[in-house]
Structure formats: C-alpha cells, structure tokens
Structure 1
C-alpha cells in the first residue's frame, strides 16, 4: 500500500525551506554590504590621498621654477592644462557617464534607466578625478566617491550574480559608503540615499540594513587609513541665543532664493557648453585644456577661488576676511564652480556648494552682527548654518545637509540653527517651484540620450535612402 505524506507536513517543510533560503539570501546581502563598504572606504581613502599627492606634485613642479624669471602662474598653466585635458579625453573616449558628479547616473541606474559599466567607470572616474581635482578645478571629491562606491556595489553584484532587487540594494549601499567615506559622515551618507534617492531606493528591512552596514564599514576603513578627525576644523560653538533664531530662518529664506538661481545657472551653463562642443571630442578636450590653464593660473594667483573649497571654510568661518572680500570671493566662487562642474569634468559639486554657502552665511552673519550685536555675538555661527543652507536649497535634502555639516565640523550644538536654516531654505525653494538639482540633471541626461538616439536613427534612415537612390 502506497503511503502519502500528510499535507501539513509537506506545507511546513516547504515553508521551512523558503524561510531558510530567504534568511540565507538576506545574510548574504549583509555580508556583501560589509565587503562593499570596506572596498568603497578604501577606494575613497586612496582617492583622497591621491588627490593630495597629485596636488603636491604639481605644486612642487611649479615651485621648482621659482628661481627663474618666468612667473609661476605661467608655469602652472600648461601643467594643469595637460592634466585636465587628459581627464577630459579619457572621460569622453571611454566613459562619458563618468563626467560630472555621477550621482544622477546612479539615480538613473537605480531606476533601471541607465547602465552601470563599472569596468570602464571605475578607472576613468578615479584617474580623471585625480587629474581634475589635483589640477585645481573647483570640484569636490564626494561625487566621484559616490559613483565609485556605487560601481563597486554593482561589480560585487555581478561577481556574485545576485538578483535584480538585491543588486539595486547593493548599488545604494555602495553609494552610501562612498559619501560616508568622502566626508567622514556615516549618518549623512545613510540619509542621503534615504532622502535624496527616496524615489529610486526600494525600502525593505534587508536593503536598509545593507545601507547602514556599508556606511559603518566605509567610515571605519576610511578612518583607519586617513584620520578620525572632523573633515573641516572650525570653531566649536555653544548654543546661539534663542532670540537670534529668527535670523537663521531669514538666512534660510535667502538661501531658498539663491539655491533656485544657482540650479538654473548650472543648467544654463551646461547648455552653453553643449552648444560649444556639440558632443565632438576635440572640442570637448579643448574646453578641458582651456579650463585647466585657467585654473592652473588661479591656483597660484588666487587659490581662494580654485580647488574644492573645503580648505577655505575654516578661514571664512574664522573671520579672516572683511565683508568686501567675502562678497568678491562669493561672486567668483560661484563663477568657478559653474565653469568647473558644468563642463563635464569628473568631480562633484557638494564641496563647492558647502564653500559658497559658508561665504554667503558669513556675509549674512557680519551684517546681522552689525545690526543686532546684542543677540549675534558670533558671526561664524551663520557661516556654519550657511554650509547646510545652500545644500538644502539646491539638492533639496535638508536632513542630509544638517547631518553632513554636524558630522563634518563636529558642531553638535549648532543643530537647532541648522534645522531652522535648512528647513527655511527648503520651504522657500519648494514654494517658488524649485526642483532638486540631481533630478533635473537626470532628466536632462535622459532627454539628451533620447535626442541622440533619434538623430542616430534619422541618420541611418537617410543613409539607407541615399544608398537606394544610388542603386
């Protein structure tokens, strides 16, 4: 007589097997996140050390001509021009998606709209970023770190052949690790993915844990290879006077307006560059050669308006500049940031934005101290609040901005003014119809990609018709 297994036994057995493999898959994802965070942290640390080494090498090479009659800025021009020109060439030739910050590319990849060609992007972004940032362009290292981390996440996904959903989680984990390591700010890295990439990130307990684990590992590895100190060394302020909080709200409102115009200027400058090079490689590289020469000269003549700007923040906050000098630095830093970021050079806009916000905040603080000396005793507090204000207005990620500034400067007592400033900036930007800069950049990239495909299709059609007519 044939015996049959009772239904409830089969049901419980299948349920046990499903749970086992589900847990196994979740555990594997967490362990892969540990690996990705460690790799991204090490890559970010080496990238940071590489930028310093390239910058010092360039400075020493320029300084070796100090005893000659040739001006040093004239010596710096061809050196930086060649460095930046090479970065532009390898970007356009091998991985155009490595241009800019790379964050819109990652958001597009998380939505399944953009491919992640990590075999090309990893070397191009790393080398190109070293050359542009080491050459003195007004770019930050956080964009490359985020894109490098995300591509490491996709590389691990491909190696271990994880499914599509888990691959998306590891991509987000890599991006988180990149930002956390770049700024020594694990909480800001986690919040950036949750807040900025909220429409692309598929929330689940496992994916969220992956993001947390990768941020922690990246920060630990970065600190072991670099330093545990805050990225920006500034004054540690006490709680500002409660009666002065309304001034931080006004500062936030100002940033809301400035942020909208700043985003529009970025998009307009992108269009101007596109009209100049029209996608042709020799024109694109020529722009890089020209910009490299300009920024090479600026690194000698006026370094305050070159480089990423993080090294400028302590001097601004420390009160080393008068109001007139702050205004001039503000105007020219906006100009150099637009010229650098919109050109398509490998580099981010976080650091330049933080620097610009610091300058504007310090200007506001000097004015507030003059008008209300009884409640504003430290103008530098407005500089700290300004770091997060412009970031919140342009990226529209206020919580990320608050955490980023607190972790970067270790100014935990400034949390209330930062909240007021960042929320005020976000409210005004949203009320006036402003949109997040990375969302606009992604839409622009997709629109240009579709236009190129249509033009390519039209060209092929015209060629076929021409061939038929000849026949």
Structure 2
C-alpha cells in the first residue's frame, strides 16, 4: 500500500507562505492576533455600513433634492437637468480623486488586494480608505452601473493593513489581517459571512497563506463584521425575494444546460472587460484632464438613463427584486440583459471606483429568469417556478467570471435565504465553471491583476510614473 504524502506546510517550495520565522511565538501573541482580527471585523463592518448609507443618501439627494422645495411641481424640468448635471459632477470628482491621489482604488479594488496578499502591491491605507470611500460614493451614487461590494472588499483589506501597521508589534501579521479585513468587507456588504470566508479561501487561493490561525482570524473577522452590519441594518436577507420549493431531480439536466450557457457567456464577458479596460487606458493615457472629462460623460449619461430608463442604470439590485415579483416576457428580459451587459462592461472598464458583483447578479437574474420562463413552457412538469432559474443564474455568472463556484453557491443562498436550492445551484455553477475552463477563460480578477502588472512594467520601461492597479 503506498504511503500517504507528507504535507508539512513550511518546508521546501511552500516556505514562502510562512508569515515570519518568529510568528506567534507565545500564546499571548496568538490571542492578541485574534483580538486584532475581531477589531478589524468591527471596524470594517462599521465603515462598510457607512459606505452603503452614504451611497443611498447621495443617490436620493441627487434625484429628489428639488422635490423638497416649494413649488417643486413647476420646476420638475429644472430638477431633471440638475440631476444630470449633479451626476456628471459627482462622477468627475470621483474620477479626479481616484487618479490624482490613489490610482490603486480604481475599479473594484479586488485585484489590488490580491496583489497586496501576493506581495506585488502595497496598500497605502491612509489614502485608500478616504479616497475609496468618497470617490466610490460619488461614482456609484451618480447612477453608473457599479456595485459597492468590490469596494467593500478593498476597504476591509485596507482596514486590516491599517490595524497591522498601528499595532507595530504585529506588523508581521499584515497578510492575515488584510485577508481578514477583505473577507469582513464582503460579509458586511452582502450580509453573507460564509461567502466572505469562502471568497478568500477560494478566489484568493493563489495569494492566501493557508494555516489554521489565518483561517480562524478570517472567520472571526467576518463574524464580527456581520454582527455589526446586522445590528445596524437588521438580520433580514440581503434580497427580499420569494422562497422556492426544491425542483424535481429530473430538472437538474436543465440547470446543467443553463450552466453551459453561462459558462460561454462568462468567458466572453471577461474578454470584453479586459479589452474595454485596455481601450480606456489607451484613450486617457493617464492624463488627468481626459480622465475627468470621461468621468463627467459617464456620470451625465447614466444619470440621464436613471431618469428615462432606470433599468439600464444603477447596480441592478432593484431589478432583481422587481423581476421576481413582476417578471416581463422572456424576449424583453433578454433584451435588457444584452443592454445591461453593454453598460456594465462600459462602466467597469472605465476604471471608476466601483465593483461588478451586483451588476453581475442582475445579469444572472435577467437571463436565468428568461430561461426559466421558456423551460416552464416547454417542460411544465419539470419546473415548479421559473424564479428558481433566476437564482441559479446569479451563481452561474459569478462562477463563470470569478471562477469561484462554491463561493457563488453560498453567496446566493445567503443573499436570498433559499438554502434548499443548494443542489441545483451546485449543478449550474459547476457546469458554468467547467465550460469556462474548457474554453480557456481566465478568472476575471486574476486577469485584471496580470494586466495591471504588465502595464506597470511598460510604464517603468518608458520611464514614466508607475500607476499600480488602475483596474
């Protein structure tokens, strides 16, 4: 009988994963690190809660400020123009703050955290925290198709680095605290603690240093962040949608087909984002005037869309809830899916400090629900509710693009409180992941990190100022 392999963690090629030669030499250090992890979770949860409240407040003020004034019905046209101008100004200021003071906060910020965990990027937390908070609030609040979940991960990671730097004796533990903060940020953003833990373990597996202590710290930080968020916003699920019955086992073949569809879409979706990001960088060439002008155009465009076609602007969370309770015909939903793919790719490729999680969930809902409506007409005995396929679609697109199927499953069931749908979600997300791998697609954030590193190398070769992680 062959011997089992000897998995001794800190030997040979894995030596680089050791945090420090004298890491946690006493029990006191161990408990102190756990305390710091809980502190990171508490701070991250509080900041993310304020981030969410700020986005909601500034978005409402942009749209409804004039409604509170006397004779508001007579100045409605002025209010519409004012909302568009305000959106343009907000986005322009957000782009200016980002590329002037902290270019690494552009985009979701997740590649920046991955680079920091891998040692290729530095987290300037004293810049990242205020710039990401303010610029993210402005750009997301302007109506652009962006989410707050990716920025919440970067904010959490920056909080972890801040705590590590302030606790100088534990500066060697910055890797653990950064990972713990990133997990706490996602957990607080989606009210999904298990998804926060799994995102670090699964999505950031090339950068995360696995050991039992780091896992404990990440888990503790996510738990504390979730407690803080729930104490401020309640314990309800992130999305208020119906609970569905478990579909029959024979319908799993339909979920597998849906996974294949999303696997193909996910590979191309990532390619479009990478190409769009490269074209935007080629256009502005790091010239601040062009960047600000581009931000103003994006802000004005999506502020106007928010008024005339609200389904084509914003993060898409409202669309998800609306589609479950008031679905449209499948052909119209497919049309909105195509249009939202275009605007999502455009907004995220622009480098605006916002994420793509929420827009992807909206896309998965639209196409998944369209598929469910069609399948319910073709196979009426196989499907309980078409909405089940919308939930499966959320996880499938996430899995195909981010390449984290288990995180996608847990994230969706925690968000929707539909834990009974784990099996169909597994079939769909695994199908999407396998197809994406078979087609040679790369995980989105790893590809963005690689793209930013290549760009940095080119800038250094041209004797220009390095611009780290503008995606």
Q: How does 1:218-367 map to 2 (within 5 A)?
A: 218-367=225-374
In the alignment, structure 1 residue 155 sits paired with structure 2 residue 162: yes
**For each residue in 1:285-306, what CA deviation from the matched residue of structure 2 results, as whole angstroms up to 9, or x when unmatched?**
1100000000110111111111
More displaced, 20-29 or 440-449? 20-29
Note if contact 2:331-2:370 (Cα within 8 Å) is conserved in structure 1.
Answer: no
Which of the residues 208, 211, 214 maps onto 2:218? Answer: 211
State the 1:271 CA deviation.
1.4
State the 1:225 CA deviation.
1.1
Note if contact 2:109-2:151 (Cα within 8 Å) is conserved in structure 1.
Answer: yes
Give RMSD over aligned pairs.
1.7
In the alignment, structure 1 residue 126 sits paired with structure 2 residue 133: yes
| Map of 1:186 onto structure 2 | 193
In 1, distance between residues paired with 2:298 and 2:347?
8
In the alignment, structure 1 residue 433 sits paired with structure 2 residue 440: yes
Note if contact 2:245-2:384 (Cα within 8 Å) is conserved in structure 1.
Answer: no
Q: Measured at CA, do residues 189 and 20 of structure 1 come closer, stay the same or move farther in structure 2, by a change above 3 Å?
A: closer
**For each residue in 1:397-448, what CA deviation from the matched residue of structure 2 results, as whole angstroms up to 9, or x when unmatched?**
0000000000000001111110000000000001111110000000001111
In 2, distance between residues paired with 1:360 and 1:264?
19
Q: Measured at CA, do residues 200 and 69 of structure 1 come closer, stay the same or move farther in structure 2, by a change above 3 Å?
A: closer
| Map of 1:53 onto structure 2 | 57
State the 1:324 CA deviation.
2.4
In 1, distance between residues paired with 2:76 and 2:324?
37
Larger radius of gyration: 1
TM-score normalised to structure 2 length: 0.91
Q: Measured at CA, do residues 244 and 93 of structure 1 come closer, stay the same or move farther in structure 2, by a change above 3 Å?
A: same
| Map of 2:150 onto structure 1 | 143
Note if contact 1:62-1:76 (Cα within 8 Å) is conserved in structure 2.
Answer: no
| Map of 2:41 onto structure 1 | 37
In 1, distance between residues paired with 2:66 and 2:271?
37
In the alignment, structure 1 residue 90 sits paired with structure 2 residue 97: yes
Note if contact 2:101-2:127 (Cα within 8 Å) is conserved in structure 1.
Answer: yes
| Map of 1:392 onto structure 2 | 399
In 1, distance between residues paired with 2:185 and 2:465?
40
Note if contact 1:318-1:380 (Cα within 8 Å) is conserved in structure 2.
Answer: no
More displaced, 238-247 or 59-68? 59-68
Which of the residues 19, 23, 28 maps onto 1:24? Answer: 28
**SS across alignment from 2:65:** helix
Note if contact 2:330-2:371 (Cα within 8 Å) is conserved in structure 1.
Answer: no
In 2, distance between residues paired with 1:197 and 1:421?
22
Q: Measured at CA, do residues 303 and 62 of structure 1 come closer, stay the same or move farther in structure 2, by a change above 3 Å?
A: farther
State the 1:62 CA deviation.
5.3
**For each residue in 1:35-67, what CA deviation from the matched residue of structure 2 results, as whole angstroms up to 9, or x when unmatched?**
000000000111111111111111112546542
In 2, distance between residues paired with 1:203 and 1:284?
39
In the alignment, structure 1 residue 444 sits paired with structure 2 residue 451: yes
In the alignment, structure 1 residue 406 sits paired with structure 2 residue 410: no
State the 1:339 CA deviation.
1.4
**SS across alignment from 1:68:** helix
Q: Measured at CA, do residues 93 and 458 of structure 1 come closer, stay the same or move farther in structure 2, by a change above 3 Å?
A: closer
| Map of 1:167 onto structure 2 | 174
State the 1:317 CA deviation.
2.3
Which of the residues 373, 381, 390 maps onto 2:388? Answer: 381
In 2, distance between residues paired with 1:298 and 1:458?
36
**For each residue in 1:181-213, what CA deviation from the matched residue of structure 2 results, as whole angstroms up to 9, or x when unmatched?**
000000000000000011111111111100000
In 1, distance between residues paired with 2:461 and 2:425?
46
Which blocks of at least 5 consecutive residues in structure 2 are unaligned?
1-21, 467-471
Q: Measured at CA, do residues 375 and 60 of structure 1 come closer, stay the same or move farther in structure 2, by a change above 3 Å?
A: same
Q: How many residues are matched?
A: 442
Which blocks of at least 5 consecutive residues in structure 1 are unaligned?
1-17, 460-471
In 1, distance between residues paired with 2:423 and 2:84?
45
**For each residue in 1:257-295, what CA deviation from the matched residue of structure 2 results, as whole angstroms up to 9, or x when unmatched?**
000000000011111211211111000111000000001
Note if contact 1:72-1:300 (Cα within 8 Å) is conserved in structure 2.
Answer: no
| Map of 2:377 onto structure 1 | 370
